[in-house]
Structure formats: structure tokens, C-alpha cells
Amino acid sequence: MRGSMLTPLRPLGLLLSLLALVALLAQPSSAIPAVTRRGKYLYEGNNRFYIKGVAYQEPAPIAASTQANEENGGFPEPDSFTDPLALPDACSRDVANFRDLGINTIRVYSVNSSLNHDACMSTFSNAGIYVILDLALPLNGSINRAQPSWDVGLLDLYAKTIDVFTGYDNVLAFNIANEVVTQASNSVAAPFIKAAVRDVKAYLRSKNSNVLVSYSSTDGPSGRTQWRDMLAYYLTCGSAATSVDLYGLNSYSWCGNSSYAASGYNTLTNDFDSLPVPAYLAEFGCVEGVGTNNRPWTEVSALYSTPMTNQFSGGVAFSYFPQPSGLDYGLVSVSGDTVTRRSDWNDLKR
């Protein structure tokens, strides 16, 4: 009697098992593999990874400059920001352009950790786009080159952003700071950058996160005895627990139809030949004169071919959004919710 009752249940049990298996297989896997560092190169799986990026942040009004900032080699800086990763409609609009351009990375300079970033990060992850995310914020949320310090308040600020973004699979790197040291006289800020690297890496380890930690430097005089190279080697030397995993250089030395030698790219490549970590151009794209559409992007072919790829792992073109005044680095024009590609878009795309 029992056997006759159990027999009809077997097909149903088999069906349920098959449905469970199908459901398991249908679960979304990680949309994008992690980018890792091996020695002085980046890898996606077993393939070397090259950053093909665009800076992605709308420009904000510039704060009034201070005497201390000017005396210490400071650049004009914004006093506010719009978080581009908290605007789902804009991210959905722009990802189509990113696909057309063929990029795999965006660099974002400031985010608001209290906002929701799920939609944008998912949109970019599904498109195969990584994010290099700066942790600093305008004004009081960064290491001050005029009066450098590193304290618990700044670490807590950075940690709030880390807490939010370590949950996403497409964060390529957390950028500790941008252009803190800008000349030899303010290189005294370098130990504070190193301290920030140490503490941020310790915090990431406490969260079981392997996200890379980076720094972005402004360009400067070439040569191993000059501050540009000395800073790069200082921030990448010593224990892995206190040195950056990825080193960025904001370089605008290649203008127009320059060349590998005339632009100084050859010297830069030689100067960085012993750097023990991956290097990339954290910003590039010289603008010659006020106006738009005047960039032939001839540096791209040099950046992504030997001998430069012996030392560099790509770069980030500056910038997606247009500038409201002065030199305009925008690749697009924006009118309301409409974005229009400018004519030099295709030059960069090629």
C-alpha cells in the first residue's frame, strides 16, 4: 500500500529537483570579474588589463582661492559636487555612450556616501565598466597641501564611502588623494598620504576587501632626482601594507599632433621603469586654446602600445562632461537631459 502511494510522487519530486536546479543556474553570477594586481601590471583573470577610461563628474563651481593654497602650489578647486553615481537616469543615458566609446573604466572624483548608488553601479557593472573612486571630498574632506595632516576624522569620512562601495563588484580602486603634492615645496605632505594609504588598507583588510588603493599625482619635472619621480617611488616603496597598489599620473604633456619623444612620454616611461606597481595616466587630454573639438587624441596610440605599455596600464581621458568656462575638456555637450557627442569623440574612439 505504501509503495503504491509513493510511486506517483517520484515524477513530481524529480520535477521539483529540476526546477530547483534551473533556478540555481539562473541566479546572476558576478557581472564583472575583479581586476587584480600582479607585480607591476593589472590583470582581469589571466589576461593583462588596460584601463580605457573617462573621467565622469560634472564640474562644480570653483571655491574662492586662499593665499595659503596659492602659496603652496594649489589648483582651483570646487566647493561642492554632484554625485554622478546617484543619478540612475543619467547613468542609463550615458552608459550607451560609454559602450560606443569602448571604455572599461570611469573615474569619479567625489560621491555622497549617504545616497543610494545601487542602480548606477549595477548599470555600469552589467556594461563591463569598472570605477576608480576618489575618497576625498571638496574643501575639508581631503589632505590639505597647505597644512597637511591625516587624522581620525578624515579616516572616518573615507571609511563611510568604503563601507558603501565595497559591496559592489566593479570598484577597481579607491583613490586616496588627487594632486596633494604639486611642487617640491609642498612635498612635506607625502608622509600624510602614506599614512592614509596605511590606514585605508588596514580598514579594507578588516572588511575582507581586495580593492586596490591608488594615488593620483600631478605631472612635474622629469628625472629621478625631481619631486615627481621621487613621490612616485616613495608612495610605492616598502611594505605592501603601506604602499599604493596603483599609481596614477595626471599628464597633459602631449598636445595636438605631438609625438612620443616631443611630448616627454619617452622620458616618463623611462623614469617609471622601476616602479614596482602598475602605473596609468589618471588624466590625459591636452586642450590647446579655449574652445571645443580641437583634440586629435594622437597620444592614445602611443599609450596603448609598446614601449609605453611596458610601464603603463592605460589611462583616463579627461573629461566626459563639458566645462562651464575656460578650457573645455568635455567630450559631450549637455542640454537639459540631452547629451550630444562632440566631433573629437570619434578621434578618441579610434
Q: State mean pLDDT over 249-263.
A: 97
- Mutual angle of helices 118-126 and 88-101, in 10-degree steps: 20
Residue 338 DSSP symbol: E
Asked whether the predicted pLDDT for residue 121 surpasses 80, the reply is: yes
- Per-residue model confidence (pLDDT) at position 1: 36
Asked whether the predicted pLDDT for residue 268 surpasses 80, the reply is: yes
- Per-residue model confidence (pLDDT) at position 69: 54
For residues 258-285, one letter each, b for 16 or more C-beta atoms within 10 angstroms of the residue's C-beta and e for the rest, the string is: bebeebbbbebbebbeebebbbbbbbbb
Peptide bond into 319 cis (omega under 30): yes
| More confident of the two residues 305 and 2 | 305
- Per-residue model confidence (pLDDT) at position 4: 39
Total-model pTM: 0.88
Q: How far apart are CA 295 and CA 309, in angstroms?
A: 22
Q: Which of 67-71, 88-92, 183-187 has the lowest mean pLDDT?
A: 67-71
pLDDT tens for residues 133-156? 999 999 789 999 989 999 999 999
What domains are there in the chain, each with its CATH number? 45-349 (3.20.20.80)
Which residues are part of the catalytic machinery?
A: 179, 283
pLDDT tens for residues 12-44? 444 434 444 434 443 444 579 999 999 999 999
pLDDT tens for residues 49-89? 999 999 999 997 665 566 655 555 555 666 779 999 999 99
